[in-house]
Structure 1
Amino acid sequence: MAIAIDRELAGDIRNPSFDVINYCIEEHEKELPRLQMLFDYYDGKPHKEGKEASKTPHELDEIYVNLAKYVTDLMTGFSVGNPLSYTVPKGEDITVLTDALAKMKIAKHDIELEKGLSAMGQGLELHYLAVDEKTDETYPKVAWIDPRGMFLVVDDTVERTPLFAVRPRKKQDLTRTEYWEITVYTKNHQITYKSKNKKLEPGQLMETPKTKEHFFGDVPVVEFRNNEEKQGDYEQNLSQIDGYNLLQTDRIKDKQNFVKAMMVLYGFTLPDKKPKTMNGSIILQAPSQGGEEGAKVEYVTKTFDETQIQVLADSILDDFHKTTYVPNLNDENFAGTQSGQAMKFKLLGLLLALSVKTSYFEDGVIKRLRLIGNILTVKGQKVDTDRVNVRFKINLPFDRKDVIDQIRDSQEFVPLLVSLGWLDDVDNPQELLEMLREQQEENIERQAKLLGLQADRSHSDLEENEDDENEQGNEE
């Protein structure tokens, strides 16, 4: 999470003091138990905040249906399953920018980033320069950083201007001696400390700090948020996940207890001699006729109504899908031959949730493009990133035929340039419109050539007929 501090109290942000860095590290540590809990739910190791998850998923004593992973994976696929598109007004060229994004495999990076946002509500993106192995040239690159291992420091104004970022990492050398490497990213430099502990103190430093200049023109760290509250997509539904898994665990235990039911014997007595056994079980002689009355055998079991339990389980799942806005793909009413408009109403809650997610994701992408634009300018490849339009293509099923019919039927009162934008796989409607015009011109030319060829053939046929008539007249 971004830690807000008073700009005046921060001191020299070009080289933050140990006191400021230590204060921010302590504030960040307060958030770690919550972030760890949320990620462990996704990882299949649920536990309460502040407690450690000591078992792997297959060693859990309880049944765990990983609804958290279900929500995160679907939300990630819905929002960034289709790569983001970048467009600019006609006449401007951003090939340099799009080439840089393609080289850093930005589509894969966005998926990793969104998965962290969905699980923990926030994520960080580190910008740095990598070296091309073939050309030995540097090029911009980005990496997703777990919010548990890095934080951004901003001022406490409404602008939340980035001041610096800190990345503490616990490492060990070849002698297995543990130490902390604390890297501070300012607007112009990267300062690396090697300390015996996480708290920076002059007497704990193992070597002189290393300072390296970077050329991004700002703090090379971008914070992404899942929403205003920085909450994960299933954070408010942990009690429902726990309740559903507890119910499923009890159902399994009831089945196991039913198999291991206690046998109760009435009217039987153990023999005086050593009893006979078979496969470890004692063989008892049934009472002879006229013996003890009321002799019988039965099991002690706990009766339960499986139908009522299933109704409760379905109710919990319905509430879960309703409050997370993620559809239940196993719902029989979800599939079927429904129109595109009906599907939109069924997915209305999801679409609204995705609109919030993509809005906050776009804020981070805009900051990302500015940092990349700054470094490209330094490399002599200037590009105006402020005029770039970022577009999300929600990865949801839709009826393409229905959209095409709407475009065709709206020609009289909706400009074609606007209606072409209704297609989800069209990044630049203007470019598509120009392609349509070129295609129409080619069709007209092709038809003109065909008509001209037909006219020539008709003319030649007339000439041949006249020649034949003349020949016949001469013969006569």
Structure 2
Amino acid sequence: MELTIERIDYIKKQKQAEEASLKKKFDYYKGKHAIESREKEPDLSNHKIVVNHCKRIVDINAGALFNQPVQYQADDGIDIEPILNEFNKQTIERLDLENGKKVGIYGKSYEYIYVKDVDGETNVISVPLNPKTSFIKYDKTIEQNKEYGVFSSHDDEDGSEEWTIIDVDEINIYLVEKTGGIIKDEERSTQNLFGRIPMIEYYNNEEQQGDFEQAIPLNDALNMLQSDRVNDKEQLVVAILALYAATVDDEDMESVKKDRVLMPPEGARASI
């Protein structure tokens, strides 16, 4: 399948619709929460404590689910031993764990399977893809069959992008220049030997929500609560005790520091 400017624009438009959501989920997993952008007056305490339950939820779920390698089975009469051998060569359990974490963070994950010659031997390799730069186009039928899959990477140095587009027949690789030019890499492009599109899109649930997504407001509230507790304590420590109609000597001040009690004379008052 050919990669055109129109197709690139279509794919980027589809990805832009979810870009903010995916970025927010990843930020919360990494510990970059809303509390970090809170501002206060310069003379007020403004601690920004992050209690990152988002990461904890994903890591515990992924660890519990993939604590043991996934067991693959097939119906009687179907030999999957060659597939299992390929999985064992690449320690597929690491890929399963990474996919599990990505699904827990983003609500979905992508996997790409390709053929590679290693030391004269043909191997089938599976790799996880970045959900931010991967896309699968489905047709309009009730079966929602895959039309094509695509993933890309960006070169920060020269601003170019490499796009891989896969359909049932071909796997084509293109260099998209910063100026907008599209150059097909004829040497690396090849026929699709699988007979189907070797990209898999995993969903965490029907809504494509991450494990912690529904709990983000709760985590924000907890961050604010913990931060304000420290702020209040710090502001109390530096508070000034004002006495009206009373005087204190060094002995009285030591008593206040030690016992936290002050007995002012009748008619006097104190405030902080």
**Which range, TM-score by smaller chain?**
0.7 to 0.9
With over 3 angstroms needed to count, the CA separation of the structure-2 counterparts of 1:66 and 1:258, relative to structure 1, is same
Larger Rg: 1
Q: Given the alignment of the two structures, is residue 153 of structure 1 paired with residue 153 of structure 2, yes or no?
A: no
Q: How far off its partner does 1:255 sit?
A: 1.2
Q: Given the alignment of the two structures, is residue 167 of structure 1 paired with residue 151 of structure 2, yes or no?
A: yes
Q: 2:204 maps to which residue?
A: 226
Q: How does 1:74-473 map to 2 (within 5 A)?
A: 74-88=60-74, 93-132=79-118, 135-172=119-156, 176-197=157-178, 204-205=180-181, 207-210=183-186, 211-267=189-245, 298=270, 300=272
Say if 1:167 and 1:183, in contact at 8 Å, map to a contact too: yes
Say if 2:34 and 2:220, in contact at 8 Å, map to a contact too: no
Q: Given the alignment of the two structures, is residue 23 of structure 1 paired with residue 10 of structure 2, yes or no?
A: yes
Letter in 1 for 2:166: Y
With over 3 angstroms needed to count, the CA separation of the structure-2 counterparts of 1:77 and 1:259, relative to structure 1, is same
Letter in 2 for 1:42: Y
Stretches of structure 1 lacking an aligned partner (at least 5 in a row): 1-13, 53-59, 198-202, 270-292, 301-476
Q: 1:39 maps to which residue?
A: 26
Say if 2:112 and 2:126, in contact at 8 Å, map to a contact too: yes
Moved more, 39-48 or 103-112: 39-48
Say if 1:265 and 1:295, in contact at 8 Å, map to a contact too: no
Q: How far off its partner does 1:74 sit?
A: 1.5
Q: Distance in 2 between matches of 1:184 and 1:92?
A: 31
Q: How far off its partner does 1:149 sit?
A: 1.7
Say if 1:109 and 1:143, in contact at 8 Å, map to a contact too: yes
Q: How far off its partner does 1:93 sit?
A: 4.3
Say if 1:263 and 1:297, in contact at 8 Å, map to a contact too: no
Q: How far off its partner does 1:120 sit?
A: 0.9
Say if 2:108 and 2:201, in contact at 8 Å, map to a contact too: yes
Say if 1:37 and 1:47, in contact at 8 Å, map to a contact too: no
Q: 2:55 maps to which residue?
A: 69
Q: How far off its partner does 1:99 sit?
A: 1.2
With over 3 angstroms needed to count, the CA separation of the structure-2 counterparts of 1:36 and 1:297, relative to structure 1, is same
- Report SS of the residue matched to 1:140: strand
Q: How far off its partner does 1:268 sit?
A: 6.9
* Bigger helix fraction: 1
Q: Distance in 1 between matches of 2:235 and 2:9?
A: 54
* Bigger strand fraction: 2
Say if 1:76 and 1:114, in contact at 8 Å, map to a contact too: yes
Stretches of structure 2 lacking an aligned partner (at least 5 in a row): 38-45, 248-264
Aligned length: 244
Q: Distance in 2 between matches of 1:91 and 1:183?
A: 36
Say which structure, 1 or 2, has more relative contact order (CA 8 Å, 6+ apart). Answer: 2
Q: How far off its partner does 1:296 sit?
A: 6.9
- Report SS of the residue matched to 1:87: coil
| Backbone CA RMSD of aligned residues | 2.6
| TM-score, reference length from structure 1 | 0.47
Moved more, 33-42 or 254-263: 254-263
| TM-score, reference length from structure 2 | 0.80
Q: How far off its partner does 1:265 sit?
A: 3.3
Letter in 2 for 1:70: R
